Structure 1
Amino acid sequence: MTVENDASGITILRKAESVMTLLEKVGEASATEIAAAVHEPVSSTYRLLGSLSALGWVDQTATRGRYRLGLHILRIGALLEDRLDVRRAILPVLESVRDRTRNTAFLCFRRGDNAVCVERLGGRDVQDLAMRVGDSYPLYRGAAPRAILSFLPEADREELLARATELRKQGERVPDPGIMRDQIGMAREAGFTVSDADVTPGIMAFGAPIYNHRGDLAGAISLSGLRERILAPESNTADEVLEAARRSSEALGYPAAKEAVA
């Protein structure tokens, strides 16, 4: 019975995919046109379109009986495109700072109460296996995640800290909110965060926020390496990550970054 249900579910998803692909190509179509294009009876196509409409995946147009991709799907597509554009725009900056400092460079985006690594350029001196592309860390752990947390809008930041407090009460391994607030205050004053072996023993990292053309927090970058090398007198990792963050924001059209260059 489970196998049959799974097969039925996959069949429905495939039909939905056919409808979505068609609407992506033609813009809008009637239920009859959709049924003919995807080789399904009109009656079952109407039922499928009703389900997709309820999910926000398709919308009816002003002309009765015609359908187009829903706003929900379009928003997801726009968000994905924005993030791909961010990665593409910032990659040259990350490559430059990685080559210059020999440290590992990261780019992270926020995903709920976590930060997900979307780009990682390995350093020349050490190959740290922590935070690989696709890995997700809580916003209170690691330099780039804490940079996102520290520079979130105040309301978002307070909501996240409140949730962290509840998790701590439930026995989860969450830092004391008072300590997190102190770290946030220091980060906002300095413009960067510091992660001292709290992800990987012997590894230290600096992180800084990046902003898009609307002035919104787009994510964060970080540089990590061996602790003794990061702390060496000749090292200027904090300045490097701040400059890389400024250049990244500039690449995304952040007005303040452009004014700073002018």
Structure 2
Amino acid sequence: MITGKTAPGPAHRTGAILAVLAEQASVTAQDLSRRTGIPVSAVYRHLGDLTQLGLVSPTRTRGRYCAGSLAVQMAVNYRREMLGGGEVKRRLARLASDTEELAAFLIPSGQHVLCVEAAEGSRVIKCSFSPGLSQPLTFGASAQAILAHLPDARVAEVCAAHRIGPAQAEALTADLPRIRDRGYAMSTGAVDEGVWGVSVPVLNRQGQLTGTVSTMAPEFRGRRNHQALLTLTHAAAQDIGRLEEPQP
């Protein structure tokens, strides 16, 4: 469930519905009610309004809904304004070419880590990160690189949202200061079995987190080439961070 109790007002309810639609390919009104705590009758009213706005669309399967056509325009504008009009994609492509592995740019989105851009290397790898897909903002190099730069209260919210027990939460938070100090996170098999990953946070001029650059490889290649992969990923993260600096 997106919230522990029914959302208090129309705007909050609309946001909760859109958040579920961002995570799921399609849903029913009953699915939305179950995930958000909003009564089914109210869900239908919100779906009607959102459909008129183009933010939601009925699918070809009766009774199911998905993101609407306006979401496409919003995605294009997001890429233009937040991803350097293609510069992030080009820098990831260069990283993927240099490493021959999968490169991705990920951001925190609610209680999840969302992949917003990726480039495949010459060595194909199967993993859970591709543009538009998200994973819980908990374990794994990408999630930990982000968590290390979030306030303690925000980290606690993430742990509570994913029902992480006290022992696991303590283990997770204990590593975060070390990850923040050294400037990267590494993991093996935390999200996908047999997949190694390194993730370097992208910081703006004020030192605030904007996302993270990750390189993913099969475990045997990642462990063998970890230093070179870290160096190349770190350089890409710095380059992407500089994209946000004002141009002279």
- What TM-score results when the alignment is normalised by the length of structure 2? 0.63
Q: Secondary structure at the match of 2:224?
A: coil
Is the contact between residue 137 and residue 158 of structure 2 (CA under 8 Å) also seen in structure 1? no
Cα distance in structure 1, aligned partners of 2:125 and 2:214: 15
Cα distance in structure 1, aligned partners of 2:50 and 2:186: 49
Cα distance in structure 1, aligned partners of 2:183 and 2:123: 26
Structure-2 residue corresponding to 1:210: 202
Is the contact between residue 106 and residue 117 of structure 1 (CA under 8 Å) also seen in structure 2? yes
Q: State the shift of 1:181 in Å.
A: 1.9
Q: Secondary structure at the match of 1:176?
A: helix
Cα distance in structure 2, aligned partners of 1:104 and 1:240: 12
Which structure has the larger Rg over C-alpha atoms? 1
Q: Which amino acid aligns with 1:201?
A: E
Aligned residues: 186
Q: State the shift of 1:213 in Å.
A: 5.0
Structure-2 residue corresponding to 1:116: 114
Distance change >3 Å, CA 211–CA 233, structure 1 → 2: closer
Q: Secondary structure at the match of 1:231?
A: helix
Cα distance in structure 2, aligned partners of 1:219 and 1:180: 19
Cα distance in structure 2, aligned partners of 1:118 and 1:195: 20
Q: State the shift of 1:201 in Å.
A: 1.4
Is the contact between residue 138 and residue 158 of structure 2 (CA under 8 Å) also seen in structure 1? no
Distance change >3 Å, CA 175–CA 120, structure 1 → 2: farther
Structure-1 residue corresponding to 2:154: 160
Query: Do structure 1's residue 186 and structure 2's residue 162 form an aligned pair?
Result: no
Gaps of 5+ in 2: 1-39, 55-73
Is the contact between residue 164 and residue 177 of structure 1 (CA under 8 Å) also seen in structure 2? no
Query: Do structure 1's residue 86 and structure 2's residue 82 form an aligned pair?
Result: yes
Post-superposition CA distance 1:18-61 (Å, at most 9, x none)? xxxxxxxxxxxxxxxxxxxxxxxxxxxxxxxxxxxxxxxxxxxx
Q: Secondary structure at the match of 1:141?
A: coil
Distance change >3 Å, CA 129–CA 203, structure 1 → 2: closer
Cα distance in structure 1, aligned partners of 2:243 and 2:50: 42
Is the contact between residue 89 and residue 119 of structure 2 (CA under 8 Å) also seen in structure 1? no
Higher helix residue share: 1
Is the contact between residue 188 and residue 195 of structure 2 (CA under 8 Å) also seen in structure 1? yes
Query: Do structure 1's residue 143 and structure 2's residue 137 form an aligned pair?
Result: no
Distance change >3 Å, CA 128–CA 233, structure 1 → 2: closer
Query: Do structure 1's residue 243 and structure 2's residue 235 form an aligned pair?
Result: yes
Is the contact between residue 164 and residue 174 of structure 1 (CA under 8 Å) also seen in structure 2? no
Q: Which amino acid aligns with 2:200?
A: A
- What TM-score results when the alignment is normalised by the length of structure 1? 0.60
Q: State the shift of 1:254 in Å.
A: 8.1
